[in-house]
């Protein structure tokens, strides 16, 4: 018994005759008659009583009508579901994003475009620092990540440059710096700095420290924060100043003023989109395609 034969069988039932069904399914009448005969032989029962006035369903034929419709509907649902999975129209996708960059236009636009294009995908977004993202990517607990990397050459990962960031100074609105902004890093030698932990984002931490060393600047750390949100919260509370990704200014926090310094502007902080090599998820492939459409050129 073939699905094609069940389709022909229902066409005959609904059209009322083989000749009318032949026109509906675009199959020659002799070929259609043969398929119905083969179906009856396979089922070892007559489905129609044939007489001069036409064809009439037998008891077995009437029972098959409902079963055939259910089988064909179920087949259509399976095909639709598998097509959606195979083309990335449904499924599940997990994405890690550094908290600071959730509001960056390139990142926010990517999330919005993906949701609009693929509303059937269960899209899970995890705010994670770069260090934990890298671990989860390599442990297959994340499909993709938006994070800091030291280069595009990452063992076991594929990458795309997503955003070119730099550093910025965050000071309390009530501080002296708010009214009299510093012009160079040396002006901050005696300032109390709110700092982050290296293990949270090693690449970001090392890149920033190396940049400070090139400018002979040693930060006087007085407080530590687990992530940039915690660091900025402490700045807003007046506990010190902080040097953070410029992307932080896309989501201003009450009580903070962001200040640009030329020596911070020239610290490149590239943000990368990364995923595990060999991940053949169609949902991920669609996200990569959107990234490729909007990725900045590599310099």
Instruction: List, for residues 227-286, the tens digit of each pLDDT value.
Output: 888 999 999 999 999 999 999 998 878 999 999 999 999 999 899 999 999 998 999 999
At residue 271, the 3 state secondary structure works out as: strand
CB-side exposure of 245: number of CA atoms within 13 Å? 30
129 and 199 in contact (C-beta within 8 Å)? Answer: no
How many residues are there in the chain?
299
Give dist(CA 180, CA 257) in Å, integer.
12
For the chain, how far is it from start to end, CA to CA, in angstroms? 62
> Do 142 and 262 contact (CB within 8 A), yes or no?
no
Query: Which alpha helices (DSSP H) does the chain contain, by range?
Result: 3-15, 18-25, 29-43, 59-86, 105-117, 130-138, 176-179, 202-214, 228-236, 262-265, 282-294
DSSP 8-state code for residue 88: T
Handedness of CA 39, 42, 48, 49 (dihedral sign): positive
Q: Are 197 and 280 in contact (CB under 8 A)?
A: no
Residues of the chain under the 50 pLDDT cut: 297-299
- H or E stretch including 146? strand 144-148
Specify the pLDDT at position 299. 43
| Axis-axis angle for helices 3-15, 29-43 (nearest 10) | 120
Structure tokens at 293: 């459409």
Q: pTM for the whole thing?
A: 0.72
Cα–Cα distances in Å, from 238 out to 6, 143, 229, 233? 76, 39, 14, 9
pLDDT for res 295:
57
- Smallest Cα–Cα separation from 292: which of 267, 278, 275, 268? 275
How many contiguous H segments (helices) and E segments (strands) does the chain have? 11, 12
CB atoms within 10 A of CB 262: 9
Token pair, residue 171, equals: 């000071």
Q: Across the strands, what pairs with 144?
A: 95, 275
């Amino acid at each position: 018994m073939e699905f094609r034969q069940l389709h022909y069988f229902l066409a005959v039932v609904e059209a009322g005759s083989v000749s009318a069904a032949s026109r509906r399914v675009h199959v020659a009448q002799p070929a259609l008659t043969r398929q119905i005969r083969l179906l009856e032989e396979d089922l070892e029962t007559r489905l129609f009583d044939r007489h001069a006035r036409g064809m009439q369903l037998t008891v077995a034929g009437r029972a098959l009508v409902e079963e055939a419709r259910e089988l064909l509907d179920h087949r259509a649902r399976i095909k639709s579901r598998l097509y959606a999975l195979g083309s990335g129209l449904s499924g599940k996708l997990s994405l890690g994003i550094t908290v600071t960059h959730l509001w960056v236009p390139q990142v926010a636009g990517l999330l919005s475009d993906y949701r609009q294009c693929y509303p059937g995908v269960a899209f899970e977004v995890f705010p994670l620092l770069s260090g934990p993202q890298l671990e989860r990517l390599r442990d297959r607990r994340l499909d993709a990540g938006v994070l800091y990397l030291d280069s595009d050459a990452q063992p076991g990962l594929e990458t795309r440059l997503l955003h070119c960031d730099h550093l910025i100074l965050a000071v309390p609105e009530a501080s002296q710096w708010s009214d009299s902004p510093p012009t160079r890093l040396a002006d901050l030698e005696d300032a109390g700095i709110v700092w982050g932990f290296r293990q949270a984002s090693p690449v970001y931490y090392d890149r920033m420290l190396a940049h400070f060393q090139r400018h002979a600047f040693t930060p006087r750390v007085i407080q530590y924060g687990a992530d940039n949100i915690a660091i900025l919260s402490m700045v807003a509370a007046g506990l010190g100043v902080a040097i953070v990704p410029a992307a932080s200014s896309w989501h201003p926090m009450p009580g903070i003023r962001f200040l640009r310094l030329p020596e911070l502007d020239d610290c490149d902080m590239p943000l990368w989109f990364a995923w595990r090599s060999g991940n053949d998820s169609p949902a991920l492939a669609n996200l990569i395609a959107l990234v490729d459409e909007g990725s900045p050129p590599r310099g």
